[in-house]
Structure 1
Amino acid sequence: MVIFDENGKIDILALLPGELEEQILLLGEKKFRAGQIFSWLHVKHVDSFSEMTDISAQLRSKLEDSFCIKSLFEVKRLESCTDNTVKYLYELSDGNHIESVLMEYEHGNTICVSTQVGCKMGCRFCASTIAGYKRDLTSSEILRQIYMTQKLSGRKINGAVLMGIGEPLDNFDNVVNFLNIISCSQGMNMSLRHVSVSTCGIVPRIYELAKLKLGITLSISLHSTNNKSRSEIMPINDKYDINELIKACKEYFKTTGRRISFEYALIDGHNDSRKDALELYELLKGFVCHINIIPVNKIKERDYHSDRKAAYRFQKYLEELGMNATVRRTLGADIDAACGQLRREYEI
């Protein structure tokens, strides 16, 4: 994916191996040089061309003239005292800010990355949308969150969830390019079975994603069981209602064979009753899926909240109906690890 920065230089981190080979040949260099450069960028995670020590000074100069490596600067770091969760606030080259969260599980370390600066979806319970949408992240800026976090933490990252600031499917081309690069065998070689992509329900993009058969886990931010209650908290439902969304999800499963995870943010007095559980059962009955119940983090600008006791009660309702449901493990509670909060506090 050829992307130019404000100075007319090509964003080199956004290039797949074949694309990088083409660019290197245009510089009059041997094709094998592209493999060396790709390794420096995506295996050794260098920040500058000057660090590529097995490449001649002449070629490094050519790279400096024609390409850029997107910068990412650590502004603030919060480390949990309870579960090794680390939250990073990063500054982009244009002065905007994004968040990434490193989480530790039994199977390894997973990072939650942002895909946009802000969000335009307007979900009522989410801190990411309050400051509004500013721009999409490039695929290299998504990648750099992983590379920089691995370097700063000294911990190998095994998986990624695209559930940070922004709506991934609203930044479709950059996200797909990111997935292709992160899973590239010449680079980090991350299995896409260890990657989850979350969406609030941009239906046409779900169909497009299905056709690509990438092997990711698709996570649907459902959060309600009927159109009336969903539209109250998620404006996207006015454009693509629940029936359209579920139809797209069934097509995704049929095409890819990959089980879908439905995210259900539990909100006190809104969607947490036994009746809501029964409606959820009727909506998803016969569907091969998993339901992830999420107690909503309280944010000062909103009055939505719930607690883990209510979440486990709702889980019991669903299990009595024979549904596969879990309560999301709370990580980094002591550092406000929910997306959007640190950025909001820093920029106010």
Structure 2
Amino acid sequence: MQRSTTYQDIRTLSQKELEELTHELGQPSFRSKQLISWLFEKNVCSFDEMTNLPKSFRNQLAERFSFNVPTEKAQQVSRDGSRKYLLEFSDGTSVETVGMPNRNRLAVCISTQAGCAMGCAFCATGLHGLARSLAAREMVDQVLHVKKDFNERVTSVVFMGQGEPFANFDETLAALRILNDPQGLGIGARHLTVSTCGLIPGIRKFATIEEQFTLSVSLHSAVQSTRNLLMPGVKRFTLLRLYETLQDYTEKTGRRPSYEYAMIDGVNDTTPEMNALIDFCQGTLCHVNLIQLNDIADSPLKPSPLEKVKLLQRRLKMHGVETTIRNSRGSDIDAACGQLKQRFSVPNLGYLPSIVS
């Protein structure tokens, strides 16, 4: 019954347009409510799943519309139960998505863009630049794909995969609201986290929304020269401006941002780097997530020894900074952003800027 993905995705229609479509196709008005329920509450991905609609009505819909859901091109399964997917959309664009089960919870890490323009030195995604931004529905479809594959309810989503969410702000916010909608997936706002490299205009806009979505900032160094080398795409947003913006954010929202700090041997795990991070965080409302860098083949950047990670955690806690060492999920598969896609598209990672002396 499913038609070519060149047809318009029926989920792009508004509820009013669906009501008009139902009337146009000669169906009684209650059918539009059933159709809307399937699309916006049950989040089905095919007409065949709409079991209380007459087959003739489903055929009419399939002749004009489709579900442009992504297809799974590859999947890797970790010993810890995590599953990493390479998903391809109807135009051939592919992104990575990760499902991370933990007891009775299922977290999903999704991409907001295909590729990335930020050019972070430690990330495989940015090596070939940005292909395009994703639509909100394409972000939600990643969550639905994982939900269906695990056959479990998704309890949290992190917008921490490929791409910079705040470079695609409107679609990211639309996706957050679809996921949060109690008539849809009903994921609590505080269980929906957006991770930014530090795009200040996006943080300021994020502070004005009503929902209690969670903000995470990829910091990785509190020394300007080091951060410029690690994250050249946000060089224009200085640490001083970022600090001031985040203080404004906490004052306006009362919410605690978290900082992601991927520890890199000999780069951001030295005593001066640790001191700078303590100074940046001390006395502010924040939480620091420390993680050993994912090891990417051919990269000059290597993970810090676990002893150094634990040392930084102890020092931060001594200065009153809430800190967690985040376990690296899927370390036995292509865990880092962009690695699985690289495996299926390019033979090697190419040149990475060397910042290790």
Same fold (TM over 0.5): yes
Q: 1:326 aligns with which of 324, 327, 331?
A: 324
Q: 2:70 aligns with which of 66, 69, 72?
A: 72
Structure-2 change in CA distance of 1:329 and 1:235 (3 Å): same
Give 1:346 deviation, angstroms. Answer: 0.7
CA distance in 2, matches of 1:12, 1:202: 33
Listed as ranges, the matches of 1:1-348 within 5 Å are 9=8, 11-14=9-12, 20-27=14-21, 29=23, 32-57=30-55, 59-61=57-59, 63-64=61-62, 67-81=65-79, 83-106=80-103, 108-306=105-303, 307-348=305-346
C-alpha contact 2:217 2:260 (8 A) present in aligned 1: yes
Cα deviation 1:79-105 (Å, max 9, x = unaligned): 112x21111111211122211111123
C-alpha contact 1:84 1:103 (8 A) present in aligned 2: yes
CA distance in 1, matches of 2:155, 2:45: 21
C-alpha contact 1:202 1:236 (8 A) present in aligned 2: no
Give 1:43 deviation, angstroms. Answer: 4.6
* Aligned sequence identity (%): 36
Give 1:107 deviation, angstroms. Answer: 5.7
Give 1:258 deviation, angstroms. Answer: 1.2
Structure-2 change in CA distance of 1:107 and 1:321 (3 Å): farther
Give 1:66 deviation, angstroms. Answer: 5.2
Structure-2 change in CA distance of 1:14 and 1:319 (3 Å): farther
CA distance in 1, matches of 2:60, 2:242: 49
* Count of matched residue positions in the alignment of Structure 1 and Structure 2: 338
Structure-2 change in CA distance of 1:256 and 1:284 (3 Å): same
C-alpha contact 2:22 2:32 (8 A) present in aligned 1: no
CA distance in 1, matches of 2:187, 2:50: 23
CA distance in 2, matches of 1:205, 1:86: 30
C-alpha contact 1:274 1:317 (8 A) present in aligned 2: no
Unpaired segments ≥5 residues, structure 2: 347-357
Partner of 2:349: none
TM-score by length of 1: 0.90
CA distance in 1, matches of 2:285, 2:161: 26
Write out the 4+ residue segments of structure 1 that deviate beyond 6 Å after TM superposition.
none
C-alpha contact 2:294 2:335 (8 A) present in aligned 1: no
SS in 1 for 2:18: helix
Cα deviation 1:296-318 (Å, max 9, x = unaligned): 11212421112323211221222
One-letter amino acid of the counterpart of residue 124, structure 1? A
One-letter amino acid of the counterpart of residue 255, structure 2? R
Give 1:58 deviation, angstroms. Answer: 5.4
Give 1:207 deviation, angstroms. Answer: 0.8
Cα deviation 1:158-207 (Å, max 9, x = unaligned): 11011111111111111111111111121111111111100001111111
C-alpha contact 1:318 1:324 (8 A) present in aligned 2: yes
Cα deviation 1:212-252 (Å, max 9, x = unaligned): 13211100001111221111111133221111112221222
Give 1:35 deviation, angstroms. Answer: 4.0
Give 1:42 deviation, angstroms. Answer: 4.6
C-alpha contact 1:38 1:186 (8 A) present in aligned 2: no
One-letter amino acid of the counterpart of residue 116, structure 2? C
Give 1:138 deviation, angstroms. Answer: 1.0
CA distance in 1, matches of 2:243, 2:103: 32
C-alpha contact 2:7 2:66 (8 A) present in aligned 1: no
Give 1:64 deviation, angstroms. Answer: 3.6
